[in-house]
Amino acid sequence: MAAGPSPAAPAYVQSPVAPFLASLSVDRALARYDLAGSVAHAEMLGGVGLLTPTETARLVGGLRRIAQEVADGRFRWREELEDVHTNVEVRLTELVGPVGGKLHTARSRNDQVALDERLYLRAAVASLAHPLLDLQSSLLDRAAALRETPMPGYTHLQRAQPVTVGHLLLAHFWRFDRDLDRLFATATRADVSPLGAGALAGSTLGIDPAAVARTLAFDRPFENSLDAVSDRDFLAELVFDLALLAVHASALGEEIVLFASKEFGFLERTPALGSGSSLMPQKRNPDAAELVRGKAGRVVGDLVALLTMLKGLPLAYDRDLQEDKAPAADALATVTAVVEVLGPLVSALVFVPARLEAAAADPELLATDVAEQLVRAGTPFREAHEAVGAHLRAHDGAFAAAELAALPGGSAETARTLDPRTAVARRASPGGPAPAAVARQLDSARARLSGRRASLSSLDRKVALVEDLLKEERT
């Protein structure tokens, strides 16, 4: 095709401050959603008789050609056209002629961008859910394999009571499970089509917002046009969900960093963890886990930027809202990278069982167990607590097995408590770290994972349905 002169920019985007107003650099990522939304809008206009069948077909055909151009990287983006919406409309008119000017009937960029963003959110949740489920699978597999390996459990980062590596890894699993739950719930709440709200007050033309909602597989159309064009709750929720996910990832990153230090020595410092030092020949640093930890700050910053921008905006649309895209996109890209690196990282962790066992054999970890043993013999817990504390202080943090029988309620049995594997096996209360309890936990984690995979497939189908609108052959 010969590239003729570009059509002039419409008057509404011409301004001395045009470069400052432009949003193309961030919103061109919305092109597919914008195009799919336009296909649905054109079909609705056809359905209510505002376009003839021929006009509808021309518009839809042109939009699909543009989708192809965008996908192939052939689309010529024009910065002076301000945003993705006007870029598409101008190109459409270039392709199909003056009928292209009918696409924007009963539509504003205000309801259009809100629609694009809701479709973006749906696809974003689906695309992040895949690597997140993979990360959860990695945690689950490692937890199953390390179900019986004892290690110290910590409070205040001080050795507290024995747990197993499997139990610790599953604690991270459940955090991520809630993150995924929140993301799905966010997608469900966002499942409302704002198209038909117009600039702020709907339209005098006989449009059918419910038809657009159906075509795009939304649960329902908006209830209030002012709310529809100004609501960015869904993006704030998305970025919050991402920020909390990043915070959870940072805690896992921190534990990897700690456990890979020589002080802990629970993890081997393998090349999978990161790179070396340009100066110190001996170094092998846990850089990946450190960056996972560090990137949380940036995502929290995205959330603060977004909420601060939204604060105090009068109804309905305000141009401030254009600043919603960069934080959302940054948070999504950052968290996706974090999750994608963490899954393989967790799979590649090399635990050092000897170090874990040795640390778990610290007698102080069993202080509570000894006290509880005394409680079984009828000693009040407070008295047992005092007696065991005094015993440990007197023996430099160790137990003198021969003297345990002399504690209040003590017997020959008491000394048998002093084995980390036995101690951990006894903690079989529901949700506890005993291998038997962890086996039950693994079962519910597996069941949860397959439930989540099923929810994700239905979300994936909705995402695919929107993609189908952009294909020539529709069934």
Residue in the structure block whose two tokens are 């199909």: 96
* x-marked contacts with ligand ARG along 85-114 as a string, rule CB under 6 A: ------------------------xx--x-
Angle at 109 between CA 48 and CA 235, to 5 degrees: 110
Q: List the one residue out of 336, 335, 328, 333 whose CA is nearest residue 302.
A: 328
225 is catalytic: no
Q: Decide: helix, strand or coil at residue 65.
A: helix
Stretch that binds ligand ARG, among 297-305, 317-325, 360-368, 391-399 (CB under 6 A): 317-325
Which residues share a beta bridge with 150? Answer: 164
Residues contacting ligand ARG: total by CB under 6 A: 10
Whether the upstream peptide bond of residue 316 has omega within 30° of 0, thus cis, is yes
The alpha helices in 263-419, defined as continuous H runs, are 287-310, 325-348, 353-360, 367-376, 381-394, 401-404
Q: List binders of ligand ARG among 386-405 (CB under 6 A).
A: none
Query: What's the min distance (Å) between Cβ of 330 and ligand ARG?
Result: 15
Query: What's the min distance (Å) between Cβ of 222 and ligand ARG?
Result: 16
Whether the upstream peptide bond of residue 57 has omega within 30° of 0, thus cis, is no
Q: List binders of ligand ARG among 27-46 (CB under 6 A).
A: 27
Angle at 76 between CA 57 and CA 12, to 5 degrees: 75
When asked if residue 197 is in the footprint of ligand ARG (CB under 6 A), the reply is no
Choosing from 321, 359, 392, 442, the residue that interacts with ligand ARG (CB under 6 A) is 321
Query: What's the min distance (Å) between Cβ of 324 and ligand ARG?
Result: 7
Rounded to whole angstroms, the Cα distance separating 350 from 321 reads 47
**Catalytic residue chosen out of the listed positions 6, 15, 25, 277:** 277
Query: What's the min distance (Å) between Cβ of 110 and ligand ARG?
Result: 5
Q: Can you say whether the dihedral through the CA atoms of 225, 226, 230, 236 is positive or negative?
A: negative
277 is catalytic: yes
When asked if residue 116 is in the footprint of ligand ARG (CB under 6 A), the reply is no
456 in Cβ contact with 126 (< 8 Å): yes
Query: What's the min distance (Å) between Cβ of 189 and ligand ARG?
Result: 21
Stretch that binds ligand ARG, among 122-130, 318-326, 399-407, 453-461 (CB under 6 A): 318-326
Rounded to whole angstroms, the Cα distance separating 351 from 273 reads 12
Stretch that binds ligand ARG, among 128-136, 146-154, 216-224, 313-321 (CB under 6 A): 313-321
Rounded to whole angstroms, the Cα distance separating 288 from 461 reads 33
Rounded to whole angstroms, the Cα distance separating 270 from 266 reads 12
Query: What's the min distance (Å) between Cβ of 212 and ligand ARG?
Result: 18
Rounded to whole angstroms, the Cα distance separating 337 from 330 reads 11
When asked if residue 23 is in the footprint of ligand ARG (CB under 6 A), the reply is yes
Q: List binders of ligand ARG among 346-375 (CB under 6 A).
A: none
Return the number of the residue (82 or 177) whose C-beta is nearest ligand ARG: 82
Residues classed as catalytic? 156, 277
Residues in contact with ligand ARG by CB under 6 A are 23, 27, 83, 109-110, 113, 317, 319, 321-322
